[in-house]
Structure 1
Amino acid sequence: MADGLLWGQLASSRGPDAAVVGIWVPGQALVTVPGCGTPSALTPFMTNRLRLSVPLAAVVLFLGCIDVPDIVDPPDAGQPPVDAGQTQDGGGTPDAGPADTLPPTIRTTTPLGGATQVSIHTGLVLTFSETMKQSSVRVTLQPEHPLGNAAWSLQGTTLTLGVASPLSENTLYTVTVVGEDLVGNALSGSHSLSFTTEGPAPDTTPPTVLFTTPVNGAIGVDRNTLLEVVFSEPMNRVSVEAAFAILSPAGLNTGTFTWNAASTVMTYTLPLSLAHGTDLHWQVTTTARDVAENPLVETSSRSFRTMRQAITTFDFDLRTSGPLSAPSFFRQTSFYNGANVGDWSADFSYRLFLGFQMTSLPEELVFIRQAQIKWWATGQRGDPYGKLGRLFLEPVDVGEELPTSFDFDPRLEAAYHSQPLSSGIPVPPDSLGRPGRIDVTAVVAQDWANRATRNKRTQYRLRFEIGTNNDGIVDSIDSNVEEDPKLAELEVTYEYP
């Protein structure tokens, strides 16, 4: 019935069956049907039982270090792993892991392959994909030129070589590298690169684009990304800025340009944040020139897509949602008929649990932007905030279910008193509603990060500071299925590539 609950047969485990039929109207006495029992048949305990619920980050070494287009990167990234069967310092102590058969590669170099106008005082910096056997690494220059002492860093993955004397001016040098990793796998991929030194001869070499950020065809790019273009030699800044354009979407060509001191790296800051899922296309045409007025070899066009956004809503999980009372600690059903939190008749103290299963969130999501619990609080009885203090929403872990039991169950007692996973979130009276909204972004992000152990669940408990003030008067916040068919739901807004 829309205005109350129909009471029927009550089977009590603590006494003989008693039949009571009547209509209970909020704020009024129990109205009985003649011949069907009396109000005295409904003890506080029995009434209680009837209530049911639920970048580019650049390291400048001499000329600066960025990826060389002709150097093959391995599929993995990050810190180089220690080779299977080796200790980290190359001592050769075997472990229980599988044999390492993956050959090392050169990841980055300084100078860049194809660079021109390189200083005659430059040194060489080589970054490998994994720890190298230092005695096996040989680096040669053609034409021949003596190199300085070798210096290894970053766990044997980065080699720095100076030059014993200045390089020749206006000369094309080719660097060749050979070597092995700690278990003897020979260097794979491109072993050489070439660059041309600066000199007094006229510069007739046209510039090229060596590298861009974001890389061409990238997806899942940050909406506030910077656009960066790395040229093979110092450029005429005014000509490059005039040759640069955002082709689509419209309205993005009023951003700002910045340059490195050598005029080889141009950075463009967009005038505004891009929308989610934006496909951006840009180019630098051949009207861009180097400082010697040589035009760019060819027009460079690039594109990328920003991070997309989606919203998913999860209904409350019946198995882990609903009210639990102390000191009875029983749960007769997992169906949602009604729910409450606060102080009930006979001084029972109720806490309300809300659980959600986030199975449909995609594994590739990158960032949870917002998460909100929507709780349908149908009404309020008495003065729970005045008598019981503040209301808190606490993150908890109650497992796969709150078990059903017709009698006292220690598992339900454990859930009722379980320690919160983090500090409770205050729920002031003005946040209640049909539905009210409670922000749980930080909790959901943490539970998703631990989804393997949490089984993609996020669970909460609503409780007042004071369970009961023992005055025998009901002070609670209620949810009623007849007026609000849904108890709660979780709305998650997230970003994905």
Structure 2
Amino acid sequence: MPGTVLAMGSSMHHRRRLYSLLCILSAATACINVPEVEPEPNEPKADAGSLPDAGSEEPRTLTLLNALPAGGATQVPIDTQFILTFSSPIEEDSLNLMFQPQVTLARTEWANQGATAIVNPESALAENTTYTLTLDAKDRSGQSLTGTRAFTFTTTGPAPDTILPTLLNTTPGQASIGVLRDAVIEVLFSEPMDRASVQTAFAITSPAGLNSGSFSWNEAETVMTYVLPSKLEYGTNVTWQLSTNAKDKAGNALEETTQREFRVVRQAAMTMPLIPSASGTITAGSPERHYRLYNAYELERIGDNGAQQGSRLFLAFKLDSLPLDTIRINQATVRWWLSLRLGNPFEKLGPLLLEPVDVGEALPQSSEEEPGNPVLTAAYAAQPTAPGFIIAEADTGTPGQFNVTSYVTQNWASRMERNYRSQFRLRFTLETDNDGVTDELRSTPTIHPTLAELEVVYEYP
């Protein structure tokens, strides 16, 4: 019986020691375990989900859309990159990454027009280790990332890489419209890829004849860029695919064939008629008096009327018929119909100038006998909004055609301030040569029913 008591006492003693040891181990484990850092309320968690297609509504705040490795991921390769995709392009110097345990970073590459950061560690991560990554950034407008992002992942041991590569993003995005004619195709992968297999797996399936372009890669071999062999025609629908023959460095293939399509920008032309209320001749009756005889196209003139009075012709057009989603103005041409030429204005009055001006919504009608009208005086002497150009006598045919693309492009860019107006002034360098002889260019509706028009060739989605 004493032996039995001793054995029982010894057994109890060992159980107490085991229980104490377990408590110590549990406490130690609690000290090194880094809990997940939850985002602030109402903020989306960072994950490795698919990016939204281009064309979806852009977030109002800067957020992290996608992270690789994903939060909570296990068996992450020790030579992994950190691929972070944000809701808008990032100011590169603002990206701040903090690792626990510490990781020394070698370089950061950018893709997706600056919205995706590809961060490369200087050396391999430790095996079978849980890391916590905390990050912050600002977009190019200075807006900070909404809530500090933090997530953990655990690296793999020496087991072979069996993770299938995925396609994270493409540019142009799926079903994009209004793509530039010289656009390139960019594909972002979740890990370094085998170049030869990817290039073989890539193909333009429609239209034909576009598979002789060139490939290039970023240093990390996670971004492939394809340059088309020629500029695309307006309105072309392009379809391309990447088959499962595309493999990563370990030989793992894409799980499924990926297909994308986009449409190239389209082009159209539109003719804008004259705005009669803001067009017509202003004549300098005296330094204090300027008059405009007609409120519509009747008899318009440029030059010296023989009574020591100079006339300038104003042409105004409305741009509000252009689509609001106009991408670019390729060509803008003013056509002006010249009916008569009296005297020798080009010899006596110097070069004929076309100048862009902004003289308001309307030019009031007045007679020579009325007191000077300040609106007409201001318009007559208005400073050009940009340098004008000389119109050669040979270019004043019927109609004379003048390239005003740069002016109309500027007017379209500031269309809200200008109420969609594009205005021009035609004048000779000299108002009068004081010789009592009429030297004028005239336009009349009896010879040419149209005084002027503006044709705009533009691109739209």
Q: Helix, strand or coil: the match of 2:307? A: helix
2:289 maps to 1:334:
no
What does residue 6 of structure 2 align with? none
Which residue among 318, 335, 350 is the counterpart of 1:357? 318
Alignment-derived partner of residue 304 in structure 1:
262
Q: 1:241 maps to which residue? A: 199
Match of 2:277 among 295, 310, 319: 319
Deviations 1:147-170 (A, max 9, x none): 3699xxxxxx9999998995234x
Taking only aligned residues, the RMSD between alpha carbons, in angstroms, comes to: 4.2
1:11 aligns with none
**Residue in 1 aligned with 2:333?**
372
1:254 aligned onto 2:212: yes
Q: Partner of 1:93 in structure 2?
A: none
Q: Which amino acid aligns with 2:379?
A: A
Corresponding residue of 2:447: 483
- Letter paired with 2:125: L
Is residue 2:309 matched to residue 1:348? yes
Change (3 A) 1:290 1:419: same
| Counterpart-to-counterpart distance in 2, 1:491 and 1:187 | 51
Which string of whole-angstrom CA distances, capped at 9 and with x for unpartnered residues, describes residues 355-375 of structure 1?
Answer: 111121222222122211111
Change (3 A) 1:302 1:445: same
Give the counterpart of 1:432 among 375, 396, 405: 396
Q: Name the residue aligned to 1:8.
A: none
**CA pair 492-227 structure 1, distance change in 2 beyond 3 A:** same
Q: For 1:268, what is the secondary structure of its paired residue?
A: strand
Alignment match, 1:231: 189
1:257-290 Cα distance to aligned partner (Å, 9 max, x none): 1122232221110011112222111001112222
When residues 195 and 477 of structure 1 are mapped into structure 2, their CA distance, relative to the original with a 3 A threshold, is farther
Matches within 5 A, 1:361-440: 361-406=322-367, 407-410=370-373, 411-440=375-404
**1:115 and 1:234 mapped to 2: Cα distance?**
19
Distance in 1 (CA, whole Å) between partners of 2:218 and 2:135 is 33
SS at match of 1:347: coil
Corresponding residue number in structure 2 for 1:214: 172
Residue matched to 2:225: 267
Contact 2:83 2:190 in 1 (8 A): no
Distance in 1 separating the partners of 2:75 and 2:444: 76
| Distance across 2 between alignment mates of 1:355 and 1:257 | 49
- Equivalence map 1:105-120=2 (5 Å): 105-107=63-65, 109=67, 120=79
- Give the corresponding residue for 1:22: none
> How many angstroms does 1:200 deviate by?
5.1
Give 1:146's match in structure 2, choosing from 96, 101, 126: 101
Residue 443 of structure 1 aligns to a residue whose secondary structure is helix
Identity of matched residues, %: 42
Distance in 1 separating the partners of 2:167 and 2:87: 23
1:442 aligns with 2:406: yes
In 2, distance between residues paired with 1:246 and 1:115?
36
Task: Measure how far apart 1:409 and its partner are.
Answer: 3.2
The alpha-carbon deviation at position 255 of structure 1 amounts to 0.7
Cα contact 2:68–2:190 (8 A) shared by 1: no
Q: Which has the higher helix share?
A: 2
- For 1:309 and 1:394, how far apart are their aligned partners in 2? 27
Q: CA deviation at 1:175?
A: 5.5
Q: Does structure 2 conserve the Cα–Cα contact (< 8 Å) formed by 1:146 and 1:163?
A: no
Q: Give the whole-Å Cα distance in 2 for the aligned partners of 1:72 and 1:174.
A: 28
State the alpha-carbon separation in 2 of the partners of residues 214 and 180 from structure 1: 25
Q: CA deviation at 1:466?
A: 0.9
Runs of 4+ in 1 over 4 A off after TM superposition: 67-77, 107-131, 137-140, 157-166, 171-181, 185-188, 190-197
Asked whether the equivalents of residues 234 and 265 of structure 2 are also in contact (C-alpha less than 8 Å), the reply is yes
Q: Is the 8 A contact 1:72 1:106 kept in 2?
A: no
Counterpart amino acid of 1:233? E
Shift of 1:128: 8.2
1:164–1:461 Cα change, 3 Å? closer
| Corresponding residue for residue 97 of structure 1 | none
Instruction: Identify if the C-alpha distance between structure 1 residues 331 and 76 changes in structure 2 by more than 3 Å, giving closer, same or farther.
Output: same
Shift of 1:486: 0.4
Q: Distance in 2 between matches of 1:260 and 1:467?
A: 63
Displacement of 1:249 in angstroms is 1.4
Q: Counterparts of 1:64-83 in structure 2 under 5 Å? A: 69-70=49-50, 75-76=57-58
Judge conservation of contact 1:108–1:128 (CA < 8 Å) in 2: no
Shift of 1:70: 4.3
TM normalised by structure 1 equals 0.68
Distance 1:202 1:464, change over 3 A: same
Structure 2 SS opposite 1:372: strand
Q: TM-score, normalised by structure 2?
A: 0.73
**Secondary structure of the equivalent of 2:199?**
helix
Range that drifts further, 103-112 or 349-358: 103-112
The number of equivalent residue pairs is: 390
* Counterparts in 2 of 1:382 and 1:104: CA distance versus 1, 3 Å: closer
Gaps of 5+ in 2: 1-46, 91-95, 106-114, 139-144
The Cα shift of 1:196 comes to 6.1
Q: 1:342 is paired with a residue of what secondary structure?
A: strand
Alpha-carbon spacing, 1:338–1:194, altered in 2? closer, same or farther (3 Å): farther
Counterparts in 2 of 1:431 and 1:111: CA distance versus 1, 3 Å:
farther
SS across alignment from 1:216: coil
CA contact 2:101–2:131 (8 Å) conserved in 1: no
Contact 2:304/2:440, CA 8 A, preserved across alignment: yes
- Secondary structure of the corresponding residue to residue 292 of structure 1: coil
1:248 is displaced (CA, Å) by: 1.0
Question: How far is the alpha carbon of 1:105 from its aligned partner?
Answer: 2.8
1:293 aligns with 2:256: no
Aligned to 2:421: 457
